[in-house]
Structure 1
Amino acid sequence: MNLAQTLSPDKQAKLVYMDSSLNDRITIYKNENYTWLLVRDVIQSAIENQRPYRPILPHCFVMLLPMLHHKTPNSILELGGGGLAIQRYLSYAYPSIKVTSIEGSQKIIDVVDEYFPAIDQPSVIKQDAFSFIDTAHQNQTHYDWIISDLFQGDESPILIKNQRLFKQLYDLINPNGWLIINCLIDNDEEVMLLGDYLKQAFNYKHYIFAVPNMQNHILMVNKIEDFSFPEDIELWNKAK
């Protein structure tokens, strides 16, 4: 897979959907091999068109590192469903994992359902992610992983850095679980500050990985007393 050919729709990609409104511009492109979802002209999801419908954006592979080097979770809460790239892939590659995706835009839910490959029994809830967290916290619901992939264009609402939010997320995660955050930050000071909030809320080792050749940073923190990635991965951890 040539990364340069998959990050953005190429000349062979066909525009299959476009809807512009006052607040959002949603477009979907498709070629023989890939499908892309863009919101406000920023790529939110991109997948292969053949099973198991692997996500092709590099940050997705970084977000799944704990699955390769720790354990396969039983349950995942995904905040920000978008094109459901993670849920779709896991539903075919790891069908035992129960993934619940929270998406605030009914329009995105509908167009993804129409133009992206189908998921057998998808689990998507139309709700504001922060409202869902409040309700889940009140109901004492728990998950092995929580993935935050929240964006409004190229802005990430999680960057409000609300300490109450991170404490809620801590409470929702099972022992041995993970919080994984994808954010677009090109300022190292801001990245480290967000990492400090994770460290304060969880009091466990945290990770900050810069995605090569991308603006994305992936932040991870776990509820594990003694865990380390292999040394060749630990070397890339920017967290202090």
Structure 2
Amino acid sequence: MIRKLLSYLIPITIYKNKSSWSKSIEVTWANGELVLDSENTNYSYGSLQRILRLGLKKIGFRQIKAMNKILVLGVAGGSVIKTLVDEVSFKGAITGVEIDPDIIKVANSYFKLNQIPNLTIVITDAFEFVLQANEKYDLIIVNIFQDTKMPNFLFENFFTQKLCFLLQKKGFILFNTMVLTEKDNLRNKKYVEEFYQPDFKLATIPRVEIHNELILIEKIK
């Protein structure tokens, strides 16, 4: 494909639109691969896929492959789901929660998300989904952004407590955060310092792709 080859020289945007939740949704050929971007940041594939792949490697592909249920909060184009299916060879059930129906339409059209047989997409607010949920998961991936902003509820203790409640024994939470300012840095530092859940441990993977920090929470009992 000519556009794919040319993208090694210059990014080529093939789709651009907006939704009620995003000022801009762009699908672009960049360095030989399709990526999904918002106005100011990468939403799926590209750098975001590298970030979350690193987090999954920290947990261990073999360990993830043996899991039964995974919850993904913030689907966008579905790059982490593609990593789970194509690289980890995960065969269990994946539930993806996404607030923006328009971005799921793009993911289906350009990234074939609707062709993944073990995936269920729920169009709703992640905050409401988590508060109402009771099903247990082996891995919860939190990857929620509105362009470069992160909703405050992600860092509130009661939300973290509920996520921990939804974990199976020996389960993991993989939380992708964006750190652009000193305020963001202090927010993450406060979150880590104040984290306390019996039978859980927390670790960070700082400055992934310059502006991202991964937080990994493990249920040890």
TM superposition score category, shorter chain reference = 0.7 to 0.9
Q: Structure 2: where are the runs of 5+ without partners?
A: 1-6
* Residue 90 (1) aligns with residue 84 (2): yes
Q: 2:214 aligns with which of 198, 218, 221?
A: 218
CA contact (8 A) 2:72 2:140 kept: yes
1:159 shift after superposition: 5.8
Match in the other structure for 1:99: 94
Q: For the structure 1 residues 77 and 109, does the alpha-carbon distance in structure 2 shift closer, same or farther, using more than 3 Å as the test?
A: same
Match in the other structure for 2:147: 153
CA-atom RMSD in angstroms: 2.5
Please give the alpha-carbon distance, in whole angstroms, between the structure 2 residues aligned to 1:174 and 1:17. 40
Q: For the structure 1 residues 158 and 61, does the alpha-carbon distance in structure 2 shift closer, same or farther, using more than 3 Å as the test?
A: farther
Please give the alpha-carbon distance, in whole angstroms, between the structure 1 residues aligned to 2:92 and 2:178. 27
Within a 5 Å distance, the mapping from 1:61-210 to structure 2 comes to 61-64=53-56, 65-68=58-61, 72=65, 73-93=67-87, 94-118=89-113, 119-121=115-117, 122-136=119-133, 140-157=134-151, 160-186=154-180, 187=182, 188-197=185-194, 199-210=195-206
CA contact (8 A) 1:202 1:221 kept: no
Q: Percent identity?
A: 19
CA contact (8 A) 1:16 1:30 kept: yes
1:11 shift after superposition: 4.0
Match in the other structure for 1:59: 51
Which residue identity does 2:102 align to in structure 1? K
Which residue identity does 1:205 align to in structure 2? K
Please give the alpha-carbon distance, in whole angstroms, between the structure 1 residues aligned to 2:94 and 2:208. 27
1:110 shift after superposition: 0.4
Say which SS state the counterpart of residue 201 (structure 1) adopts: coil
Please give the alpha-carbon distance, in whole angstroms, between the structure 2 residues aligned to 1:100 and 1:21. 23
Task: Give runs of ≥4 in structure 1 deviating > 6 Å.
Answer: none
Larger helix proportion of the pair: 2
Please give the alpha-carbon distance, in whole angstroms, between the structure 1 residues aligned to 2:163 and 2:48. 27
Q: Structure 1: where are the runs of 5+ without partners?
A: 1-8, 48-54, 226-240
For these two proteins, the number of residue pairs brought into alignment is 206
Please give the alpha-carbon distance, in whole angstroms, between the structure 2 residues aligned to 1:80 and 1:202. 27
CA contact (8 A) 1:45 1:83 kept: yes
